[in-house]
Each structure stands twice: as structure tokens, then as C-alpha cells.
Chains A and B, each alone.
Chain A
């Protein structure tokens, strides 16, 4: 018996209205009285269909602006598709940005509670995990330092250390593989290795093609909002690399 997909995207299209004028009352009314449109239509995704099964590790590759982030946002449920349907059996938990909701004026410890709450942890759970989070982020000595005084790498470490506590079975990472310094990358590499060997379902969009080859068996290649090809990761990445090398550099 064929298993049911936990995520099914069927002929997804996503249309954005991109403002053509400055968003001020004067400019908008000027365009209104001249009968000019405020927005230009832009299809960010077109005719996207694929299925994700339990335990899949899927890489999404493509050049900047290819539609990877939009695809993830549609899959997660942040954007509603303009056409097509999304069917999900389990909630897809996103890690799209490090430091979401953090308050730079508050100390590290308070921000751990904020991040934890955004990732669905209760105060009690965070209290229990606090030593582990501080230790993984290598910030044990600075629990009361305001976050504005941390470096951007330290903020990434802190945010990732909270996110990695999540035990949700279905996760999406968008450009979130490359992190902080080399030493911390090694630590997160171990986390990703364990994650990829688990039975959790993972979607990853990244430009770190080496890591994707290592972690994912399936890949989806997007170009200008459409799927170019899907299949075995090594095969798809080889084709994608060849394609990228053929494109003349922009002057």
C-alpha cells in the first residue's frame, strides 16, 4: 500500500502585486487620478506540484529569486496560494530567520524565553532546557548581557540553540544551514546529521550544495517560479551547477 503524503502541493501558483509607486498618499492618488495602476502583477510560483512523505529529506535549490522562500511560505501556510491547493497532514514548523521576535534591549536569558515561546515551548520547558541552550550557544557567561551587545554570530548561535530544542516531526529550513563561525558550524553540522538520520521530515532550501548532497536524497530545482526538475539530489545538483556555469555573468 502506498503511504499517504504528509504534504501535497497541487498546481500551486502565487501571484504578488508589486507596488510601482512610492507608498504615500500623494503618489498613490496621483496614479489614481491619472488612471495608472498602482501595482504590477508578478507570478512568483507557477504550476508547482509535489508530494512529501513521512521521513523525506528534500532539498530545494535554485538561484536567488527563483521562488524557494515563497514556496516554503506557501507550504508552511504563511502565504495562501493564488491557485492550486496545499494539503498538510502535520504542521510544518519553519526556521526562516534567526532571532525572530528578539528584543535587543533585553538580556540573553529573557530572549531565550521569547524565542522559546515563538517556537512553541512553555516557560516551564524553557526553564528546564536553559542550561543546555546557554551551553550550546556558548553564552553561559553572558546570560544577563543585553542582546544588542552580542555579535551577529552570537545572536545566530542563541537563536539556533533554542530552535534545535524543538521535537516537531516536520521542519522547514530556509537558508538556515550556514551559521556563525567554523567551530559552531561543526556543532550544528552534527545536529543536522542527526536530524537527517532521524525519521523526521525535513525541507531545506540552501545554497550550500555540499551540505544538501550530504543530507538529502531528493531535490527540487526551481527556476523563475517553476519546477525545472525533481529527483535524486546528486543528479539534480550536477545539472543545476552546469546550468549556473553556463549563464553569462551580469555586466
Chain B
């Protein structure tokens, strides 16, 4: 991390490169990146609106914000998988620290998330007459969510360098997050066992709950404000585990 100021110019150039080579190089491309989350929203909305909609206040907003967060998480994990494999080719031929490559790889998911969440808030405030949510709190939770997602991405990406089928296993398991996160249902609809499982074992849950309640201007339904603390603790633990795992395996990633 101490090396970052020395390589700041490289970091900026790599961030620009990621953005230019993503679908954000054109306006149409940027719009295209919303299509995936919007399609998921449309499908889930029409399937669940009658069953769950009446029991969840502001169901469309909560559904869409959950999908935006889940998409952000998946993009970050994917970016980390790619960054670790890309960094192998760079680090072996130069003195570039891996951290620069990882941080630059986050640029596109961060920008996409920022644009999506800004559009979402603008639309809900203007069209659905919602009140402007607490933006600094949303930013703080987004930052913690970024740390947590990066940690999981680093952990999985590092393990993938030891066993190359981790990526395939993750690709098969990741869609389950849609059903184990409170995106189209609320926690009070679950049995006590199911609620405890989703709340404690899914690291995405506290962030989704925070976002949904901040945007809907509601109180956190379960475990009250401990959810914010949980978001902070999960972020620190996941980033710590991911980073330590990467550092432990870094030599092996470079040398094999």
C-alpha cells in the first residue's frame, strides 16, 4: 500500500484504460450496461409483485436497489478474478505492485454503481415523490460494501490461482445469492431459522437492508441499528481475510 503514491500515475492510466475498454466508452454502451439489472428487475417485479408486493412497503424501490447492490457485488468479484489473473502476466515482467492492478480494476464497477444508484435516486425522488435519502450515509455504506466485496473477490481470486475450478464453482453458485438475499422478500416473511440464516450467513444482507431502509426512510426491521455495525464488521473481516489470503498466496501466484 505504501507503493501507491509512487505508482499513482500508472493507477490513473490503468483506470482510464479500464473505463475506455469497457462499455462506458460510448453513451449507448453505458445505457446497455443498465439493461441487465433492469431486465432482472422487470422479471422479478412481475413475478413477485402480487405475492410479496402488498406486504412490503415501496416494493419496487427495494427490489431495484437490491438488484443494483447484487449486480455491484458480482461485478466487483468478477473484476477481482480478472485482475488476479491479469496481474500474473504483469508482475512477472515488471516491478508493478499487484495492488495497483487490483485498485484500477475496481474503477469500472464503481462508476457503474455510482451512475446506477444516482439515476435510481433521481428517478424515485422525481417520479415517485420519495424524499431525498441520507446521501452521506448511503456513500458510507457503499464504501463498506465495496470493501467487503473486494475482500471476497480477492479471497476467491487467490484461491482460484491454486485450484483453477474455483471460478467455475463460483459462477454456478453466485446466482443463489439472488434467493438468499432479502431482495424480493423481506426478512419477516421467513421462518425464524430462515431469517437467522439469511441475516447472519449472507454477507450481503446488512448492506441491502441498510440501503433499502435508508431509501425508504424506514427503521431497520431487525436487530435495529446493529445492522450498521454488522456492515462495518463484515467489511473489515472480509477485506482482511481476502487481503491476507492474497498476500499468503502472492508468491505462489507469481511463481507458478
Q: Is the CB of B93 within 8 A of A97?
A: yes
Of B9, B14, B93, B166, which contacts A123 at CB under 8 A? B9
Q: Is the CB of B20 within 8 A of A110?
A: yes
Report B138 CB to chain A, min CB distance, Å. Answer: 33
| Chain B 5-39 interface residues, beta-carbon cutoff 8 Å to A | 9-10, 12-14, 16-17, 20-21
CA distance A73 to B94 in the complex (A): 9
Q: For the complex, is A65 an interface residue (Cβ under 8 Å from B)?
A: no
Cβ contacts A to B, 9 pairs, < 8 Å:
A17-B255, A23-B162, A23-B164, A25-B169, A78-B92, A78-B93, A93-B95, A101-B90, A123-B13
Report A238 CB to chain B, min CB distance, Å. Answer: 32
Q: Is the CB of B163 within 8 A of A118?
A: no
Q: For the complex, is A194 an interface residue (Cβ under 8 Å from B)?
A: no
CA distance A17 to B251 in the complex (A): 11
Report A46 CB to chain B, min CB distance, Å. Answer: 17
Q: For the complex, is B91 an interface residue (Cβ under 8 Å from A)?
A: yes
Q: Is the CB of A117 within 8 A of B20?
A: no
Q: Is the CB of B162 within 8 A of A106?
A: no
Q: Is the CB of B9 within 8 A of A78?
A: no
Q: For the complex, is B187 an interface residue (Cβ under 8 Å from A)?
A: no
Report A133 CB to chain B, min CB distance, Å. Answer: 15
Size bracket, chain B contacts? 20 to 34
Q: For the complex, is A16 an interface residue (Cβ under 8 Å from B)?
A: yes
| Chain A 196-244 interface residues, beta-carbon cutoff 8 Å to B | none
Count A interface residues, CB 8 Å: 34
Q: For the complex, is B188 an interface residue (Cβ under 8 Å from A)?
A: no
| Chain B 225-255 interface residues, beta-carbon cutoff 8 Å to A | 251-252, 254-255
CB contacts (< 8 Å) of B20 on chain A: these are 106, 110
CB contacts (< 8 Å) of B90 on chain A: these are 100-101, 118
Known: A103-B21, A110-B20, A123-B13. 17 other contacts (CB 8 A): A16-B255, A23-B162, A23-B163, A25-B163, A25-B166, A28-B163, A77-B95, A78-B93, A78-B95, A96-B93, A96-B94, A101-B14, A106-B20, A116-B13, A117-B13, A118-B10, A118-B94
User: Residues on A close to B: CB < 8 A?
Assistant: 16-19, 23-26, 28, 73, 76-80, 91, 93-94, 96-97, 100-101, 103, 105-106, 110, 113-114, 116-118, 121-123
CB contacts (< 8 Å) of B89 on chain A: these are 100
Q: Is the CB of A24 within 8 A of B14?
A: no
Select from chain A the residue with minimum beta-carbon distance to B92: A78
CA distance A94 to B9 in the complex (A): 19
CB contacts (< 8 Å) of B164 on chain A: these are 23-24
Of B10, B13, B163, B251, which contacts A24 at CB under 8 A? B163
CB contacts (< 8 Å) of B42 on chain A: these are none
CB contacts (< 8 Å) of A18 on chain B: these are 256
CB contacts (< 8 Å) of A73 on chain B: these are 92
Report A103 CB to chain B, min CB distance, Å. Answer: 5
CA distance A78 to B253 in the complex (A): 12
- On whether A76 and B95 interact (CB within 8 A), knowing A117-B9, A118-B10, the answer reads yes
Report A58 CB to chain B, min CB distance, Å. Answer: 20
